[in-house]
Amino acid sequence: MTSLLLFGASEGGLFDFDATLPLMAVQIVLLTYILNALFFKPVGKVVEEREDYVLTSRTEAKKKLAEVEKLENDLKNQLKGARQAAQKVISEAEDDSEKLYKEALALANSEANASREKVRREIDSQRESALNQLKSDAEKLGDLIVQKLLAAK
């Protein structure tokens, strides 16, 4: 009795198959087309466009980052080169000034030496001439004394 009712022999029942089945199937197929047009296509378009946008932005950003890193490295290298050049210029200038100083010092020393030598020679020669003078005066005087003495005698 139960099974008879369950399978809907006459009226109603849980397993009452009728035209609901094919009409429901048609309704689902229609719903699939409607949802495809209203939901899946437009939303898919937006989502995929956004995914593309994110992807391209990401690759672009990566490219830009790489460029920036390259530029930074270039600038760092340039800076390093400039620093080295500046260091070289400074040390060269220091060397130059040292050399100039030494040269000037040596020149001044030699000049001083030369003038001292000259003065010394002058003094020597004057002393010699004075001594000669003195000698000749003394000889003259001696001669004179000798003559006077001889004369007095």
145 binds another protein (CB under 8 A): no
CB atoms inside a 10 Å sphere around CB 5: 15
Among 9, 27, 76, 111, binds another protein (CB under 8 A): 27
Question: Shortest distance, CB of residue 63 to another protein, whole angstroms?
Answer: 22
| 3-state secondary structure at position 79 | helix
Question: Shortest distance, CB of residue 61 to another protein, whole angstroms?
Answer: 17
User: SS3 letters for 79-91?
Assistant: HHHHHHHHHHHHH
Question: Shortest distance, CB of residue 36 to another protein, whole angstroms?
Answer: 4
| 3-state secondary structure at position 34 | helix
- Candidates 37-45, 100-108, 121-129, 140-148 — which segment interacts with another protein by CB under 8 A? 37-45
56 binds another protein (CB under 8 A): no
12 binds another protein (CB under 8 A): yes
Give the integer Cα–Cα distance in Å for 118 and 124. Answer: 10
Tokens matching residue 76: 């760092």
For 73-82, letters b (16+ CB in 10 Å) and e give eeeeeeeeee
> From start to end of the chain, where are the E strands?
none
101 binds another protein (CB under 8 A): no
Residue among 20 and 87 whose Cβ is closer to another protein: 20
Residue among 43 and 100 whose Cβ is closer to another protein: 43
- Are residues 107 and 114 in contact, defined by beta-carbon separation less than 8 angstroms? no
- Are residues 39 and 48 in contact, defined by beta-carbon separation less than 8 angstroms? no
- Candidates 6-14, 93-101, 105-113, 123-131 — which segment interacts with another protein by CB under 8 A? 6-14
Binding site for another protein (CB under 8 A): 2, 5-6, 8, 12-25, 27-29, 31-36, 38-40, 42-44, 46-47, 49-50, 53
